[in-house]
A and B are shown apart, each in its own frame.
Chain A
């Protein structure tokens, strides 16, 4: 059994140690907000936080996560859509199909935690997640709004 702390709850899962964290989150824990996009850490749809750091969970074996590390998924970002990133996303109606947005939001939340007033270049560097619908400009605007940076 592997012990994980996900969204503040300790969970025990019976999986092969090389199972990617993404699939443990989706299949054993049952939280499906974190998405499968590529399986090779190229698209970012699977982004979660581990101790506040953004991690592409599709390429991280679950055995590499320690029981005391705090895993946060999109479901645990805020209890009621009150994270500043979620509020800004809602105000600007960012998502289109929405499939990549969990990963985008998690990447953006981690960025603002590290750099509360990111420059455009810092936003572009941190936000390397793929959005096939092309919501990038609204994502950038929403990050700035959440950071209190004038548009």
Chain B
């Protein structure tokens, strides 16, 4: 894997980090750890390098953005390798190396709660194959059969003679062997590293400031860029007056990046930002200059009763069932745009020359970032590479690479000079890929005994794929709209048996670009459905848990997590006086989740969430304490949208620009969360998102129980006080 820019990069980084730093846990410089930099140590395979000192380098194709994926994937490889966990370190191979090696590391995308579940089989095989080669090398050296040898914590032992060789002593010989095919994987019942609540590999460096995030990347002679992007949807950059700022201290260049964006390059970012803030800029407000959130709502309301709609799930004849019902319940709900608001704003560092283009950035999909960079660079993809730095949050935002494109275009204006472009928080918040805006009208048919015999769920609103990936549409239909509402499959199945069912989508796409926002369409689908199930139970005069249970006989895994939270919270006994409960369940990203919230509402109509009990069945639990951390955190993320946050539109642009107007849930509002991890060990589900789905509906159901007031529009805000 040795190549010219590998060497160049090492030489300029050598001045800033100790030569061994790349090998020390927690001080990770991408590229430095790659095989080319590891002296002569050959790899056992794409996933595993064992060095003479027994250090095991596990290569990780997916990226760490907070969810513990890096540690989990390393656990899976180390489990099969049977190495000493204390000697494990990790490395991110670049997407350029992946391309050169015929994509030996597979998919780099880290999204959809897929980091572990979509790669567990081949990374485990990488560990198991490497182990087999180490055993074979030992057997060869001793001249004994492999069957007389076994491994434990990085050592191969010969059982009859108690001789042993360390992996570090065997790696060079093992690397020369032909890898065996079809090495069996361990039964998860026998796991000793995977499946355990091990501490994360990356914690120490997050406690003393030594973890290098993309925004922290430094290079000799580096320049900094700040940008202004047209704030109007589909608007353009009309003009700017660089003469007002070119004499400011540190300013090097003012660059028209493209039709929408202007940049100032300076010797520090603060100077670049100060200068661009003072530069007169005129915008062409484009075709939507008068658009407001009210206009968006009107579009969606029209879709709620439109004739044309794409079908997501259908059984029996819902319309007839509704027409002949003993009782019809109807409710309309709404979910606004949301912003990812990663704590680290978008940024990237680029060195461009006519011969090559190198990018250092935080990305959820380095292969996609590489393709974007190559196009912007005007260079063949083989002449480009992307070095992955740690992400200060992803949540889906860093699956899109508009910022990488801009950074490359800016760096092209200063060939050979490293340029780091950083978006201000204001640019970041007003140029997101927002959680899609949708509404839903649900109509339920109850028979005389209060059974749900018909349900029509009409979703109206934005399709993510129609903007992000139109090729993913199916005859115009966006299948992702129906996350968690599907009739079958392994990803997200509707958890209730309803004999007459229609779930359909009237696509209405306002010009606010949508994106994959942690949890994606599951978030609103669970809010709509689980709120309405509670409304139906109330209309039927039934307990919301029993009402659900009756319809879940054919969905035992959905039911099991619901029962787990009900049991833990003590649903069969009344809560303490003044405390009210709400339930929700949902399936998404392959996992089954449920939650129960306990809330109180005071005389001023302020809500206190006293307790959340949440359960997940993610199939296999690779690191239970990190799964618990994801469950806890998902309530902060989900309830920020449920209680506080809203991106609105006025005069053709996003209104909210920073955390003062786009509030994020803080510690004083964070509920206690009891997590229940109940893997059934018969499938691989996701972890990073699923419990978000049930956060808001569980709390809103509890609020309805407490107040009798059903909140059907997010966020809660001051709706209770106004009611």
Binds A, one of B39-47, B94-102, B391-399, B400-408: B391-399
CA separation between A125 and B667, bound complex, in Å? 8
Q: Which residues of A are found within 8 Å of B391, using beta-carbon distances?
A: 97
Q: Which residues of A are found within 8 Å of B342, using beta-carbon distances?
A: 97, 99, 132
Which residues of chain B (592-649) have a CB below 8 Å from chain A? 625-626, 629, 632-637
Residue among B632, B633, B672 with max Cβ neighbours from chain A (10 Å): B633
Q: Interface range on chain B: under 10, 10 to 19, 20 to 34, or 35 or more?
A: 35 or more
Instruction: Select from chain A the residue with minimum beta-carbon distance to B429.
Output: A38
B-contact 0/1 string along A1-33, CB 8 Å cutoff: 000000000000000100110010001101111
Report yes or no: B199 in contact with A102, Cβ–Cβ below 8 A.
no
Q: Decide yes or no whether A110 CB sits under 8 A from chain B.
A: no
Within 8 Å by CB of B632, from A28, A125, A132, A134, lies: A134
CB distance from B641 to the nearest CB of A (A): 12
Report yes or no: A74 in contact with B209, Cβ–Cβ below 8 A.
yes
Q: Which residues of B are found within 8 Å of A34, using beta-carbon distances?
A: 209
Within 8 Å by CB of B209, from A28, A73, A137, lies: A73
Q: Which residues of A are found within 8 Å of B394, using beta-carbon distances?
A: 97
Within 8 Å by CB of B667, from A16, A40, A90, A124, lies: A124
- For the A-B complex with A97-B65, A135-B629 known, give 19 more contacts whose Cβ atoms are closer than 8 Å: A16-B249, A16-B274, A27-B268, A30-B218, A32-B215, A35-B392, A37-B425, A81-B204, A86-B207, A89-B207, A93-B200, A97-B391, A98-B392, A99-B342, A102-B209, A130-B659, A133-B637, A134-B670, A137-B670
Q: Decide yes or no whether A128 CB sits under 8 A from chain B.
A: yes
Report yes or no: A97 in contact with B632, Cβ–Cβ below 8 A.
no
Instruction: Select from chain B the residue with minimum beta-carbon distance to A99.
Output: B392
CA separation between A16 and B393, bound complex, in Å? 31
CA separation between A42 and B662, bound complex, in Å? 10
Contacts A90-B204, A97-B65 known; A125 to B343 CB distance under 8 Å?
no
Instruction: Select from chain B the residue with minimum beta-carbon distance to A128.
Output: B666
Report yes or no: A33 in contact with B268, Cβ–Cβ below 8 A.
no
Q: Decide yes or no whether A45 CB sits under 8 A from chain B.
A: yes
Subset of 18 A-B contacts with CB under 8 Å: A23-B270, A32-B213, A32-B216, A36-B425, A40-B425, A43-B343, A86-B207, A90-B204, A95-B202, A97-B390, A98-B205, A98-B206, A101-B207, A124-B667, A127-B667, A134-B632, A134-B634, A134-B636
Which residues of chain B (24-64) have a CB below 8 Å from chain A? none
Q: Which residues of B are found within 8 Å of A124, using beta-carbon distances?
A: 667-668
Q: Which residues of A contact B (CB under 8 A)?
A: 16, 19-20, 23, 27-28, 30-40, 42-43, 45, 73-75, 77-78, 81, 86, 89-90, 93-102, 105, 123-125, 127-140
Q: Decide yes or no whether B210 CB sits under 8 A from chain A.
A: yes
Contacts A74-B208, A86-B208, A134-B637 known; A99 to B344 CB distance under 8 Å?
yes
Instruction: Select from chain A the residue with minimum beta-carbon distance to B657.
Output: A40
Report yes or no: B393 in contact with A97, Cβ–Cβ below 8 A.
yes
Residue among A33, A38, A96, A100 with max Cβ neighbours from chain B (10 Å): A96
Report yes or no: A133 in contact with B660, Cβ–Cβ below 8 A.
no
Which residues of chain B (181-239) have a CB below 8 Å from chain A? 199-200, 202-213, 215-216, 218, 224
Report yes or no: A33 in contact with B68, Cβ–Cβ below 8 A.
no
Contacts A38-B658, A42-B658 known; A81 to B208 CB distance under 8 Å?
yes
CB distance from A104 to the nearest CB of B (A): 9
Instruction: Select from chain A the residue with minimum beta-carbon distance to B268.
Output: A27
Q: Decide yes or no whether B168 CB sits under 8 A from chain A.
A: no
Within 8 Å by CB of B343, from A33, A100, A127, A140, lies: A100
CA separation between A132 and B67, bound complex, in Å? 12
Within 8 Å by CB of B636, from A16, A131, A140, lies: A131
Q: Which residues of B are found within 8 Å of A101, using beta-carbon distances?
A: 206-207
Within 8 Å by CB of A93, from B203, B218, B637, B666, lies: B203
Report yes or no: A33 in contact with B210, Cβ–Cβ below 8 A.
yes
Instruction: Select from chain B the residue with minimum beta-carbon distance to A23.
Output: B270
Report yes or no: B393 in contact with A132, Cβ–Cβ below 8 A.
yes
A-contact 0/1 string along B87-119, CB 8 Å cutoff: 000000000000000000000000000000000
Which residues of chain B (252-296) have a CB below 8 Å from chain A? 268-271, 274
Q: Which residues of A are found within 8 Å of B660, using beta-carbon distances?
A: 40, 42
Instruction: Select from chain A the residue with minimum beta-carbon distance to B341.
Output: A132
Report yes or no: A96 in contact with B424, Cβ–Cβ below 8 A.
no
Report yes or no: B392 in contact with A97, Cβ–Cβ below 8 A.
yes
Q: Decide yes or no whether B345 CB sits under 8 A from chain A.
A: yes
Contacts A96-B633, A130-B343, A133-B393 known; A75 to B270 CB distance under 8 Å?
no
Instruction: Select from chain A the residue with minimum beta-carbon distance to B518.
Output: A132
Report yes or no: A35 in contact with B667, Cβ–Cβ below 8 A.
no
A-contact 0/1 string along B399-439, CB 8 Å cutoff: 00000000000000000000000101100000000000000
Report yes or no: B670 in contact with A27, Cβ–Cβ below 8 A.
no
Q: Which residues of A are found within 8 Å of B269, using beta-carbon distances?
A: 23, 27
Q: Which residues of A are found within 8 Å of B66, using beta-carbon distances?
A: 95-98, 133
CB distance from B362 to the nearest CB of A (A): 10
CA separation between A95 and B201, bound complex, in Å? 11
Q: Which residues of A are found within 8 Å of B455, using beta-carbon distances?
A: none
Report yes or no: A137 in contact with B672, Cβ–Cβ below 8 A.
yes
